[in-house]
Amino acid sequence: MPTKSTFSTHRTHIAGVPVPELARRFGTPSYIYDAAKIVERVNDLKQFEVVRYAQKACSNIAILDLVRRHGVLVDAVSAGEIRRALAAGYPLHPAKHGDPHPIVYTADIFDRESLSLVVEQDIHCNCGSPDMIDQLGEAAPGREITLRINPGFGHGHSQKTNTGGEQSKHGIWHEQLADALRRADHRGLAVTGLHLHIGSGTDLEHLSQVCGAMERLAREVGRSLTTISAGGGLPVPYRAEQNYVDIDVYYKLWDASRKRLEDAFGHRLTLELEPGRYLVAESGYLVAEIRAVKKMGGNTFYVVDAGFNNLARPILYGAYHPMSICPADGSSAADRPTHDVVIGGPLCESGDIFTQEEGGFVATRKLPAAGVGDYLVIEVAGAYGAVMASNYNSKPLAAEVLIADGNAEPIRARQTFEDLIRGERIP
Ligand SMILES: *Cc1c(COP(=O)(O)O)cnc(C)c1O
């Protein structure tokens, strides 16, 4: 696996296909995914015996099908995500008794729909609140469950992606584990799994703190455990100077914890990893067309046809995405002079800026000179991109395209106006 990332501000192709050809065939804005990149990331993690994709990062059924064919299992956080997993060919139950569950439902609540679905279909549940234990136990006593514990600390690339500590709503508070175990006992549920996930886009140092917490908590649960899950949170580089985490070091830390617990329990434990971002972020490109170039005092704006309705990470977290320019004729922008520009979208909302920092401060980006008709490619956009899209300003959801072996296939049609108003009526 690579150690350092590199990004360029000029680009002519995505996964071997010319950008203007993609724009002509599928329109703009469109999400383009490079299948080979996803497979490469799956292979980085092959030391972990179970890789369970947190599909909320990018849940198109073609992406789910791709990771499924490469041996990856799946996590679902809603009834809709369970149905997506089934639509993508995941089986309800393991082929052999004792094999890991193909689909796990992880959440802090059961809404009424998800509770009936997991009960009817016998989906394994990772319970993130004491109430979930009670509700599942009442509806389906005798099941095996996993507990998601908030270890009392967390970390994330933004406060909004921190999923541990007192300010997080996620998981069962670590000091209430004994109470959770009593509730499970009382309802006839066997606790076979323990799960910790402290945040998204955290660094190795923070991720490894979780191992110690897992060992302590797992000993408290005891010998009923057969699976421990390290959660997700593996970061990817979004800027040129950022490094990849050392997966080998990370695996060894977890494997050592697992082995100590196996010795204590006298039986094997399955170690799961639950990445979302890591598998898909770098595969995704949001291709937009520059539709206006204007000066506002000292600032030059490139205004493109994609907005935060397509990619919300900048407005939500001040997230930084690498960007590149592809001239309309498909030539290279490498020889063009570069300028500091602001990239804005089409929405009637001043926060619709792709070059912003946390807190909404407008920043500039050094990009090759470009004009109307040239393409802006927003990169590393595969995770928490298309899935967070909205219809704000009555913009249709963008097309999604998967490129494998040089072939670009549509995996989601751009919404039509009829799609937009489906379900609305004038009484
Ligand atoms: C979001 C989430 C993940 C994936 O997080 P990434 O940072 O995308 O790896 C894993 N597990 C759970 C429970 C999650 O909610």
Burial class (CB in 10 A: 0-12, 13-18, 19+), 6: exposed
**326 tagged catalytic:** no
User: Is any ligand 1 atom within 6 A of the Cβ of residue 51?
Assistant: no
Q: 222 alpha carbon to ligand 1 midpoint, in Å? A: 25
Q: 59 alpha carbon to ligand 1 midpoint, in Å? A: 13
- Tens digits of residue pLDDT in 31-80: 999 999 999 999 999 999 999 999 999 999 999 999 999 999 999 999 99
Assess contact for 268 and 61: CB atoms under 8 A.
Answer: no
- Tens digits of residue pLDDT in 153-196: 888 888 788 888 888 899 999 999 999 999 999 999 999 999 99
Rounded to 10 deg, the angle between the 177-186 and 130-139 helix axes is: 10
| Average pLDDT over every residue of 310-317 | 97
Q: Is pLDDT of 89 > 70?
A: yes
β strands within 77-231, DSSP E = 103-107, 124-127, 144-150, 172-173, 190-195, 227-229
Among 72, 86, 4, 87, smallest CA distance to 38 is for 72
| Summary mean pLDDT of the chain | 96
Query: Which of 56, 125, 126 to probe ligand 1 with, by most ligand atoms within 8 A of CB?
Result: 56
**Amino acid found at 243:** N
| Average pLDDT over every residue of 265-283 | 98
Per-residue pLDDT, 198: 86
Per-residue pLDDT, 91: 98
User: Is any ligand 1 atom within 6 A of the Cβ of residue 197?
Assistant: yes
User: Is any ligand 1 atom within 6 A of the Cβ of residue 226?
Assistant: no
What percent of the chain has a predicted confidence (pLDDT) above 70? 99
Sorting pLDDT into bands at 50, 70 and 90, what band is 247?
very high
User: Is any ligand 1 atom within 6 A of the Cβ of residue 278?
Assistant: yes
Per-residue pLDDT, 182: 98
Q: Could you give the CA distance from residue 29 to residue 16 in angstroms, rounded to a whole number?
A: 19
Assess contact for 362 and 355: CB atoms under 8 A.
Answer: yes
Q: Is pLDDT of 14 > 90?
A: yes
Atom of ligand 1 nearest to the CA of 106: 13
Per-residue pLDDT, 83: 98
User: Mapping DSSP to helix (H, G, I), strand (E, B) and coil, where does residue 394 land?
Assistant: helix
Among 321, 371, 381, 332, smallest CA distance to 29 is for 381
How would you label 301-312 residue by residue, b for 16+ Cβ within 10 Å and e otherwise?
A: bbbbbbbbbbbb
CB contact set of 92 (below 8 Å; sequence gap of 6+): 86, 102, 103, 121, 122, 123
Q: 364 alpha carbon to ligand 1 midpoint, in Å? A: 30
Sorting pLDDT into bands at 50, 70 and 90, what band is 119?
very high
- Say how many C-beta atoms besides its own lie within 10 A of residue 418's C-beta: 7
Q: Hunting for tokens 């059924």 — which residue is that?
A: 61
Q: In Å, how far are 17, 22, 253, 367 from 289, measured between CA atoms?
A: 17, 12, 45, 15
Angle at 161 between CA 184 and CA 215, to 5 degrees: 45
Burial class (CB in 10 A: 0-12, 13-18, 19+), 86: buried
Q: Could you give the CA distance from residue 170 to residue 201 in angstroms, rounded to a whole number?
A: 16
Q: 54 alpha carbon to ligand 1 midpoint, in Å? A: 6
| Average pLDDT over every residue of 302-317 | 98
